[in-house]
Amino acid sequence: MKIDVTNWAILDALQHNARLSNAEIGRKVGLSSPAVAERIKKMEDYGVLEGYTANVSYTKIGYQLKAMITLRAFMGRLKPFLIKVSEFKEVVNCYRITGNENIIMEVVLKDQIHLQEFIDRLITYGEVKTHIILSNLIENSPIIDHKKIDKTKI
Amino acid sequence: MKIDVTNWAILDALQHNARLSNAEIGRKVGLSSPAVAERIKKMEDYGVLEGYTANVSYTKIGYQLKAMITLRAFMGRLKPFLIKVSEFKEVVNCYRITGNENIIMEVVLKDQIHLQEFIDRLITYGEVKTHIILSNLIENSPIIDHKKIDKTKI
DNA sequence: AATGAAATATACTCCCT
DNA sequence: AGGGAGTATATTTCATT
């Protein structure tokens, strides 16, 4: 699918505020509201726009700790973990990765006791390494046009 | 701020589709549209709702590779990196972490050449470890009510 | 804190270009 | 692929409980 300058502008607007009305987006990009609706629908249909999510503050709802946890699965324990992980509600993101570890997870936790309990659940599946997140330098940075990326190179 | 059952239902709806109208959310949670608007505004003001983002497919817009990259900064090179990292448009998420490494980044890249170029930019700041992401097992899992989390423990 | 009603704004559908 | 018109729906404000 070809993403022209107008669609990049729409993607940019939606990545900054997904709850903008089509009319508001139209004003930003110089299009009528039906035209915006049509372009958004096409990008949804092509899978360019996968969905729209609200960013909820972890700390404001009682999760004081965030951690990146890696797992190096024991022999025969990766598959059981892959089945089980979807039940771990603390896991916000979970990726299969190359390298010494098989899995990396981004996890939200209420406190140290919660962290300890969570690690206890993991250690039956493999070797666990825990990295507490101290601060977020970049969070969900919007994706922009390729050409803009090229310009930032050295 | 107290988040009651109704607000949890609103947060759940918005995390699944942030572009739902207030009226549609109201139908889900059993509230009128002005009541929904008022509750959302309060949660925004208290910082519980931090924003609304569109999820754009990396692969569909030409980024074939995703990686988790860690950095163990050389002496005196962490600060320069922290200043520079916001210019790296490939970095979607970046965290300061505890442990042997100082930084972990989630990065999107066009191809292997792009990955190589990106690593070249990083190695002036410290020791780099690259983990290619093979698949996403859990992505941006919505945060739900504490009580629901407690039920999943064991 | 929620509802219902009135005014404004937006979305949706259809037709035209 | 986008604009414009008409209809349905949604948002916003305000009064009321």
DSSP sequence for A56-70: E-TGGGT--EEEEEE
What pLDDT sits at residue A129?
Answer: 98
Within 7 Å of a protein beta carbon, the nucleotides of strand D are 1-5, 9-14
pLDDT digits (tens, 9 = 90+) for B29-71: 999 999 999 999 999 999 999 999 999 999 999 999 999 999 9
- The residues facing B130 across adjacent strands are B69
Q: Tell me how far CA of residue A5 lies from CA of A10, A29, A49, A97, B63, in angstroms.
A: 9, 9, 16, 34, 18
From the list A54, A87, A141, which residue is nearest B92 (CB)? Answer: A141
B92: chain A residues, CB-CB within 8 Å: 138, 140-141, 143
Q: Which of B113, B112, B145 is nearest to B11 (CA)?
A: B145
What pLDDT sits at residue B148?
Answer: 63
* Predicted confidence band of residue A73 (pLDDT cuts 50, 70, 90): very high
Contact status of A19 with chain B (Cβ, < 8 Å):
yes
Whether A91 contacts A106, CB under 8 Å: yes
* Predicted confidence band of residue A145 (pLDDT cuts 50, 70, 90): confident
Separation between Cα atoms, residue B56 and residue A144, nearest integer Å: 10
Q: Which of B27, B144, B20, B84 is nearest to A19 (CA)?
A: B20
A97: chain B residues, CB-CB within 8 Å: 68, 131-134
Q: Tokens for A20, please give them.
A: 């903008």
Give the domains, in start order, of chain A with CATH numbers: 5-53 (1.10.10.10), 65-132 (3.30.70.920)
Q: Which of B89, B126, B132 is nearest to A153 (CA)?
A: B89
Supply the angle between the helices A5-16 and A22-29 in degrees, to the nearest 10: 130
Q: Which nucleotide is nearest to B36 (CA to C1')?
A: C2
